Amino acid sequence: MTVGIKDVALAAGVSVATVSRVIGNGPVSEALRRRVEDAIRATGYRPNLSARRLRSQHSQTIGLIVSDIRNPFFTAVSRAVEDAAYHAGMRVILCNSDENPERELLYLRLMQEERITGLIFAPTRTTLDGLDGVGLDFPVVLIDRGGPSGGHDAVVLDNARAAATLVDHLHAQGYRRIAGLFGNTSTTGVERHDGYRAAMAARGLEPEARFIPPYAEAAETEVARWLTGADRPDAVVVSNSLLLMGVVKAVRGLGLSIPEDLALAGFDNEPWTELVGPGLTVIEQPVHDIGRTAMELLFERLDTPERPARKVVLSGTCIVRGSTAGFRANSTAMAGAAVR
């Protein structure tokens, strides 16, 4: 069985990035270098020479293209990627595509010109569908948006399960008219929508889902229209933190309250989510693990270019706060307030 760089990392008790630094004569302490070298000898690992040549022909630079740097999720993932790259003695070129396929193609050409060592990429659905035909000469690891093709390494959240968890939680709290609001540019929005619909069906509930641009302004407009209509929901599940922010602004703009007038649950445990009203119920994504794992997959790909693509699916954690307090309790409280 072929010994790979991950086996060396396990034997030495270090990260794949650290082994890569030692092999590439990067900055590590002498004690750490000796430990890794001992593990290399013990495992019989032989570095892939073609991968070493590939590295030497490139700029020791990692490309990172995210869809919206204003989204705190991508800010946090970018930090994790930059930390891993720094410890590997590599630089990072960060580009923000603003969910625009034309900008994504422009930045992919830029990465070619810069002769990057590898790319970590959160693509739109449009670019993802045609990525295999772009003809890139460097490995790509997808983050957040893996797609079904399996042509590239990817690190994603179990999006369907996470969205279903929010629906199940709201149902347990007594909510039945649970709407969904999802971003329309990525596979992430689609997967979270699929999880939402499956959970609603399993509970015998009628789904009411809408796809919108994944920005706070779009969510504010859509939800304000929703809440002033005759068939308004009792609760909403939203698919990213920017949409979550837009829903909060819409509720406040109408003079309504969370959860008394609308229960709210979404994604990303940002600091502000525990400061809004009674706090917002969210799925906390393992952002550091996403960035770190993406870098590890990239180093493994450089070391073993011919191996099959891997898709790493991570789990989120449901952080329950007051924005999803029980539906019946809210109704009782409001009735009591009216009597007084």
Cis amide leading into 259 (omega within 30) = yes
As given in the structure block, the two tokens for residue 131 are 């990525």
Grouping H, G, I as helix, E, B as strand and the rest as coil, residue 217 is helix
Q: Which tops the pLDDT comparison, 8 or 333?
A: 8
CA dihedral of residues 319, 322, 324, 327 (deg, nearest 10): 150
Q: Supply the pLDDT for residue 205.
A: 97
Mean pLDDT value across residues 227-248 = 93
Longest dimension (CA), the chain: 79
Per-residue pLDDT at 5 exceeds 60:
yes
Pairing of strands 317-319, 281-284: antiparallel
pTM: 0.79
Q: What residues have CB less than 8 Å from 276, skipping those under 6 apart?
A: 248, 258, 323
pLDDT tens-digit series, residues 149-174: 567 899 999 999 999 999 999 999 99
Q: Supply the pLDDT for residue 162.
A: 97
Sign of CA dihedral 150, 151, 157, 162: negative
CA dihedral of residues 287, 219, 193, 272 (deg, nearest 10): 30
Mean pLDDT value across residues 33-49 = 82
Reference 304, options 8, 49, 25; nearest CA is 49
88 vs 24: CA distance, rounded Å: 9
Q: Which strands make up the sheet holding 317-319, listed edge to edge?
A: 208-212, 178-183, 235-238, 263-267, 281-284, 317-319
Q: Which tops the pLDDT comparison, 22 or 283?
A: 283
pLDDT tens-digit series, residues 85-137: 888 888 899 999 999 999 999 999 999 888 898 999 999 989 988 887 788 88
